[in-house]
Structure 1
Amino acid sequence: MTKADEAALRRDLAAAYRLAARFGWDDTLYTHFSVRLPAGKGARRGKERFLLNPFGLMFNEIRASDLIVVDLDGEVVEGSAPMNPAGFTIHSAVHSARADAHCVIHTHTVPGMAVAACEQGLLQLNQISAEFYQSVGFHAYEGVAFNLEERSRIQTALGENMALILRHHGLLSVGATVADAFCIMYYLNKACEIQLAAAQLASIAGPVTRIPPAVSSYVRKQFRGVEHERQIVWAAWLRELERTQPEYQW
């Protein structure tokens, strides 16, 4: 990996934090996003590292140079700021189990946590939720994620899915790039927002209707055919950030 490669990943992850603040996904100093740093030639898997936000900065002030580098043993190998231990548990669990999960996004949004409290989880109520049909895992709540033994259960719950609902806790998405993971989270959170709105309307407008399974399966395949569009959406978001918050890149 070259310095240019790491610089690009730093800029993308810092952009994700700034965009999350803009969309109202932040939770003061809590929740966390990470991106794996490609290992050098011949590096052992145990030497893998990932970028994580330093504990103490708000999402709307994170810059590329602020991000710390953490290894899979929980050591901060670059940067002097402390890390969130729960963040290490969750992100190291995913990075160590999924070679394709280069970026991991975890949020505590109100709609995400509301759906995480529902017994049936994410319902098939709209076109957006259909993208996630049979593609979301569920992980039972065990308390604040300080226990490293929880990692194996997070890995099992996530499986090969692109997202995970952590019961009574929040949402998690994974992707091959920051753009992929962030766009997945954007629409997963949007689907949760719609479900919350539909539940509120149901009290006065009557029961909501669900998309039939066969249709949801078909729509999911349609979405798979246009996943490349996430990069186009991401590029548009970056242009907006460069106009309004160019310091995120520093």
Structure 2
Amino acid sequence: MAAVLEKTGIVLDEGRVSIYQPEQKGLIFPELPQFASVSAHRQHLKERLVAACRAFALQGYDYGFAGHLTIRDPENPGLYWTNPMAIHFSQVKVSNLILADHTGKVVEGTHAINRAGFVLHAAVHEQHQDIVAMCHAHTVYGTAFAALGKPLAPISQDAAAFFEDHVVIGDEAGQVAVEVKAGHKVANAFAGVKAAIHQNHGLLTASRHSIEAAAFWFIALERCCQQQLMIEATGQTPRLVTPERARYSREHVGSEYIGWLHFQTIWDQLVATQPDMFD
């Protein structure tokens, strides 16, 4: 059955969800995975979670023990896998991941859980059963932009990917999220969007598709914050993408699938250069 892109009306051939998927058969192109068993699915998710952490390390998103990424377990959706507390992103591997429940109890693994990560991620996963993955880190540009307490402007095609698809959270701005109530306030904001700018704190992304999508859109959001700060530093008023064009671009380059697809280039690089992540 042919698919129709919701906003643009473009009709795609059977089996295609994006205009970027090739129409010509037989070409090498990333394919969404399929699994013969739950254990194979779980192993896949854990490996991609590790890759997302390694990608954050490559981007320089490390800041002490701050930063946490999660993926919901495929068999037990009330549990989620996350990076261990006080382990550098570059040292996260399959063997040191931890599995936790929504109360913050570690049910598998030997490392402790990040308290702030539990408070934020558990609340989002619990309140939004469709969200499977979430990312947060204390980045330079995202944190700086978050101090402005405003959304991204559609200054480019890249920024248009977030047009009407992110929110600014002002609740408890700048107060470290170690109390459960803080997590619930963040969770409330993630209704129907893939990203949030938490004032005086930083960036968060969530995905209803994959950890790859959540990780890539975090990288993209940080980059967009950097670009907007650079433009604002010139003192010039930028020419914005019109709302109609911004929505069109978001439809084609801002979807969960496109986030997943972008991450495949990162995955291939990591597999070739960091085989220890599978230990």
TM-score by length of structure 2 reads 0.81
- For residues 163 and 88 of structure 1, what CA distance do their matches in structure 2 show? 18
Do the aligned partners of residues 20 and 131 (structure 1) sit closer, same or farther apart at CA in structure 2, a change above 3 Å counting?
Answer: same
Establish whether residue 233 from structure 1 lines up as the match of residue 262 from structure 2: yes
* SS of residue paired to 1:228: helix
Q: Which residue of 1 aligns with 2:200?
A: 168
1:3 partnered with 2:36: no
Matching of residues 202-241 of structure 1 within 5 Å: 202=235, 206-223=236-253, 227-241=256-270
Question: Identity over the aligned pairs, expressed in percent?
Answer: 28
How far the C-alpha of 1:160 sits from its partner, in A, is: 1.1
The answer to whether the aligner puts 1:26 opposite 2:91 as a matched pair is no
1:64 aligns with 2:94: yes
Q: Deviations over 1:54-95 (max 9, x none)?
A: 112111111011111100121111112111111100000111
Q: Distance in 2 between matches of 1:119 and 1:105?
A: 20
- Note closer, same or farther for the CA distance 1:26–1:156 as it changes in structure 2 (3 Å cut): same
1:227 deviation in Å?
4.8
Deviates more, 1:82-91 or 1:21-30: 21-30
CA contact (8 A) 2:149 2:168 kept: no
- Structure that is richer in helix per residue: 1
For 1:147, which of 151, 169, 179 is the aligned residue?
Answer: 179
Cα pair 2:167 2:193 within 8 Å, conserved: yes
Look up the equivalent residue of 2:169 and give its one-letter code: H
Match of 1:189 in 2: 222
Give me the whole-angstrom Cα distance separating, in 2, the residues matched to 1:181 and 1:64. 19
Q: Which residue of 2 aligns with 1:200?
A: 233
Give the CA RMSD over aligned residues: 1.7
* TM-score after normalising by structure 1: 0.89
CA contact (8 A) 1:21 1:59 kept: yes
3-state SS, counterpart of residue 70 of structure 1: strand
Alignment pair present for 1:248 and 2:277: yes
Give the 3-state SS of the residue equivalent to 1:55 in structure 2: coil
User: Shift of residue 141 of structure 1?
Assistant: 4.5
Aligned CA distance change for structure 1 residues 215 and 229 (closer, same or farther; 3 Å): closer
Give distance in 1, aligned partners of 2:149 and 2:268: 40
Aligned length: 240
- Conserved 8 A contact 1:108-1:171: yes
Are the aligned partners of 1:141 and 1:168 in contact in 2 as well (CA < 8 Å)? no
Partner of 1:128: 158
The letter of the residue matching 1:152 is H
Runs of 4+ in 1 over 4 A off after TM superposition: none
In the superposition, relative to structure 1, how do residues 122 and 230 fare at CA in structure 2: closer, same or farther (>3 Å)?
closer
- Secondary structure of the 1:118 match is coil
2:210 maps to 177
1:243 maps to amino acid: A
